Structure 1
């Protein structure tokens, strides 16, 4: 008889109590360097839904807890990390989706506050930039905002339309670019790359 716990339960068992009590706050995963434990049957879909063993994680608090121990490493892979375990997971695009926008102020003084489907929030600023990549084949834009460390949130299409409505032209490296202001920073959203 196999008495081992499923990896997801094992992960939760090895989290410090301070992390468990603050599920929406990220854990100090940059301080933890356990050996690789294996692949976990968990993935995050492009729409931000977390799946474990083929089924969606329906409890928000549980998805928030897992998101707090998520780390993107230099190999381009995502891992769930505790002080003693490190499990690889699959992520279709990026792990978060910004589903709501609040705007404070106007013009160059406005602040754009994004909220994710897991109730994280971030103000776009120099440390949390907005970026847009464009699929070369379809021409579809993929807008992102940096949430924390090197973890980004895909900006939902409806939220991106709100940004487009607020967009203004501004000179960037001698080129007129279409973008938005937030916290005194201008972020191009036209998906073009300025020529050097």
Structure 2
């Protein structure tokens, strides 16, 4: 009887730990941000210990799942996206005291809005993610194409080695802002300009 109870308790421990970790991380971010607008902490300055993995997965379609349950609160996803960290090809949630590995199917950020903005007399592309990141396309934050499965997908670099997938509707808006042509191989090329940066994307 005691052994059975102990076994049952041990199988629940990971789930309990995950819930506690998720709650602690959320509370830390809220405390750090206080009443300020959303901001990205200085993750590159933190060197916490690795604390194992959490049953948190970001799917290629943009859904976040925790312990088999879809996270429906966008505010929660917005919070966690501010402490995303990538290291040696793996993704983590990172705070000053712990670095917990999570699973990401493709990329954890997703662009759903494209605009053009004027900065010092030059026109730049401005991309906004579903988690309220605002990215000005430049040399450090270029748009590029990359294969995922058997599909070629558009991305933009955001921070800490992490990219954002440009969702279909947003990419179609980008196409309207650029020029389409064919290269010598007959492939379609999208030409885009953002400030002084010229991009040629084979689509």
Q: Deviations over 1:137-161 (max 9, x none)?
A: 84x3210011223211000112112
**Which structure features the higher share of helix residues?**
2
Equivalent in 145, 152, 155 of residue 141 of structure 1: 152
Distance in 1 (alpha carbons) for counterparts of 2:100 and 2:86: 12
Distance in 2 (alpha carbons) for counterparts of 1:71 and 1:6: 20
Q: Per-residue deviation at 1:22?
A: 4.5
Distance in 2 (alpha carbons) for counterparts of 1:12 and 1:162: 34
What's 2:90 paired with? 77
Distance in 1 (alpha carbons) for counterparts of 2:194 and 2:91: 29
Matched residue count: 180
What TM-score, normalized to structure 2? Answer: 0.77
What's 2:163 paired with? 152
What's 1:6 paired with? 20
Distance in 1 (alpha carbons) for counterparts of 2:170 and 2:24: 37
Q: Say yes or no: does 1:162 pair with 2:176.
A: no
Q: Per-residue deviation at 1:12?
A: 3.3
Q: Deviations over 1:142-190 (max 9, x none)?
A: 10011223211000112112222333379xxxxxx64200122111211
Secondary structure at 2:202 match in 1: coil
Q: Deviations over 1:51-109 (max 9, x none)?
A: 21111222222111111111001x2000111111111000010110101111236xxx4
Q: Is the 8 A contact 2:111 2:170 kept in 1?
A: yes
Q: 1:47-196 residue pairs with structure 2 within 5 A?
A: 47-73=61-87, 75-104=88-117, 109-134=122-147, 138=150, 140-168=151-179, 178-191=190-203
Q: Say yes or no: does 1:38 pair with 2:52.
A: yes
Flag structure 1 segments of 5+ consecutive residues without an equivalent: 171-176, 192-196
Higher-RCO chain (CA-CA 8 Å, sequence separation at least 6): 1
Bigger Cα Rg = 2
Flag structure 2 segments of 5+ consecutive residues without an equivalent: 1-8, 182-188
Secondary structure at 1:37 match in 2: strand
- From the superposition, tell whether residues 87 and 22 of structure 1 become closer, same or farther in structure 2 (CA, over 3 Å): farther
- From the superposition, tell whether residues 166 and 47 of structure 1 become closer, same or farther in structure 2 (CA, over 3 Å): same
What TM-score, normalized to structure 1? Answer: 0.79
Q: Is the 8 A contact 1:23 1:61 kept in 2?
A: no
